[in-house]
Amino acid sequence: MTRIAFIGLGIMGLPMATNLVTAGYDVVGYNRSQEAIDKLVAAGGSGAAGIADAVKDADVVITMVPDSPDVAGVVQGPDGVFANAKAGALWIDNSSIRPDVAKELAEEAVAAGLGVVDAPVSGGEQGAIDAVLSIMVGGSPDDFAKAEPVLNAIGKTIVHVGPAGAGQTVKAANQLIVAVNIQALAEAVTFLEAFGVDTDAALKVLGGGLAGSKVLDQKGQKMLNRDFAPGFRLALHNKDLGIVTSAARSVGVTVPLGAAVAQLVNALVARGDGGLDHSGLFKLTTELSGRD
């Protein structure tokens, strides 16, 4: 049985790890909070006391943590993945981080005798729960082939998009599209409410036409209900949009819509709303329209 060390049992990491248990893998998890480890154990996995303990006998190591420094902190150093994973193990990073950092860490992983793919995911908490995530994978063809069976247990659309760092580049583009779509939906719902339209009916018909999207399907009702419980936190999307705008600038690409939405997301985070779902862009839109 393939043994998988799963590091980072957060909103998405825990259901992903649980789905790997369901698929028949031997999963040992580590998280900074014991509560998340206990939930994995209750689902049939096992827990570790630290990163080194989790990865020492693992065939595959998966990391799912918030940001570039967090990934580096998990894999580097004497207690990290690179120093403690066995030679030949495969490292799959499902986190969303800077493409340049992904490339640098991939080089370090190879030097440590590991296979490596950067494999950020899209689909939010529900996609993680339902094991239907979209996964964009960067790395060598051989390492992708090794990772694919594992990724099939947590996702539905798994695509090899290029060498190391390419997965993170595609994820940045994904986050740009999602942010602009959420803001457009927030403006549309605010517009509809201002005219007293039956918004449930309106979203139903909009969803059946060219305006239809997964963003509308997953976030429209949350906006109508003013339900901003996090499936994907604004603070994380703020981080991702920082990656987008910085990377775009580095290659001379103009992203005016992305830059504008990045400022709105940053404003929400700066005032203390970073823990809300990214559909919380609707909250700011209604306030700016004097309709909160």
In this structure, the answer to whether residues 127 and 185 fall within a common structural domain is no
In this structure, the answer to whether residues 54 and 189 fall within a common structural domain is no
**pLDDT tens digits, residue range 208-244?**
999 999 999 999 999 999 999 999 999 999 999 999 9
In this structure, the answer to whether residues 129 and 185 fall within a common structural domain is no
* 146 counts as catalytic: no
Report d(CA 127, CA 58) in Å as an integer: 26
Q: Which amino acid is at 68?
A: S
- pLDDT on residue 93: 98
In this structure, the answer to whether residues 145 and 217 fall within a common structural domain is no
**CATH code assigned at 200:** 1.10.1040.10
In this structure, the answer to whether residues 176 and 152 fall within a common structural domain is no
In this structure, the answer to whether residues 31 and 113 fall within a common structural domain is yes
DSSP string for residues in 190-220? HHHHHTT--HHHHHHHHHTSTT--HHHHHHH
**pLDDT tens digits, residue range 162-194?**
999 999 999 999 999 999 999 999 999 999 999
In this structure, the answer to whether residues 201 and 256 fall within a common structural domain is yes
Q: Bigger pLDDT: 292 or 97?
A: 97
In this structure, the answer to whether residues 127 and 41 fall within a common structural domain is yes
Average pLDDT, the chain: 97
- pLDDT on residue 34: 96
Does pLDDT of 1 surpass 80? no
- Number of structural domains, the chain? 2
Single out the residue in 129, 162, 195 at which a domain terminates. 162
In this structure, the answer to whether residues 7 and 139 fall within a common structural domain is yes
**CATH code assigned at 105:** 3.40.50.720
Single out the residue in 162, 191, 220 at which a domain terminates. 162
**pLDDT tens digits, residue range 242-272?**
999 999 999 999 999 999 999 999 999 999 9
In this structure, the answer to whether residues 152 and 189 fall within a common structural domain is no
Single out the residue in 162, 177, 200 at which a domain terminates. 162
Report d(CA 184, CA 187) in Å as an integer: 5
In this structure, the answer to whether residues 158 and 271 fall within a common structural domain is no
* Mean pLDDT on 145-150: 98
In this structure, the answer to whether residues 211 and 240 fall within a common structural domain is yes
Output b/e per residue, 254-278; b: 16+ Cβ within 10 A: ebeebeebbebbbebbeeebbebbb
- pLDDT on residue 292: 80
State which residues form the domain around 176.
Answer: 169-288
Does pLDDT of 44 surpass 80? yes
Widest CA span in the chain: 63
Active-site residue, from 86, 103, 156, 171: 171
pTM here?
A: 0.93
The strand ranges marked E within 83-179 are 90-93, 115-118, 121-122, 133-139, 155-162
Angle, helix 199-207 to helix 166-194, in steps of 10 degrees? 140
* Mean pLDDT on 270-279: 98
**Element containing residue 71 per DSSP (H, E):** helix 68-75
